[in-house]
């Protein structure tokens, strides 16, 4: 093999290795299915967040008190390691004509199973500086 061809091959392998490493540590968002349901204002109990592996993926269920009727929830999954994910549930301003206005929501998120062996779920309050960790554990 010619030295020029060897140099190109080595450069190509190095570029592939770099892309593979950066994608493994990059906190890129993973796809998540997120369903939110408004619950009556008289509901006061916020039950514990649960996570279980099913045939659909990892199903996370919880409740979130947003505090004001002009808020709704969004969620995103951030991959923080090869087998560790973080689900961030955030209270955001409700879009005009969007989700029903409520102060409390129940939610269900379905994450890809391969990305959630170790899972942390956090709730981010509107205007809050820190997140509340509501679930942390292994999901088998």
Q: What is the pLDDT of residues 60-96, one digit of tens each?
A: 999 988 877 678 889 999 888 888 889 999 988 877 6
**2: confidence class by pLDDT, cuts 50, 70, 90:** low
Most confident of 14-23, 30-39, 63-72, 125-134: 30-39
What pLDDT, on the 0 to 100 scale, is given for residue 43?
67
What pLDDT, on the 0 to 100 scale, is given for residue 93?
82
Distance from CA of residue 28 to its chain's centroid?
10
Neighbours of 71 (CB within 10 A): 21
What pLDDT, on the 0 to 100 scale, is given for residue 50?
93
Q: Mean per-residue pLDDT for 28-52?
A: 79
Q: Is the pLDDT of residue 58 over 50?
A: yes
- The 10s digit of each residue's pLDDT in 99-138 is 566 788 899 999 887 656 899 999 998 777 788 999 999 8
């Amino acid at each position: 093999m010619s030295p020029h061809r060897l140099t190109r091959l080595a450069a190509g392998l190095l570029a592939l290795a770099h892309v593979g490493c950066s994608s493994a540590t990059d906190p890129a968002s993973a796809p998540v299915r997120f369903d939110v349901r408004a619950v009556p204002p008289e509901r006061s109990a916020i039950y514990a967040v649960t996570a279980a592996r099913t045939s659909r993926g990892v199903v996370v269920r919880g409740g979130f008190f947003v505090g004001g009727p002009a808020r709704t929830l969004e969620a995103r999954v951030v991959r923080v390691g090869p087998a560790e994910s973080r689900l961030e549930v955030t209270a955001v301003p409700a879009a005009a004509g969007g989700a029903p206005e409520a102060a409390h929501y129940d939610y269900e998120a379905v994450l890809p199973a391969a990305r959630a062996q170790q899972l942390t779920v956090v709730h981010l309050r509107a205007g809050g500086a820190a997140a509340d960790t509501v679930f942390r554990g292994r999901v088998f």
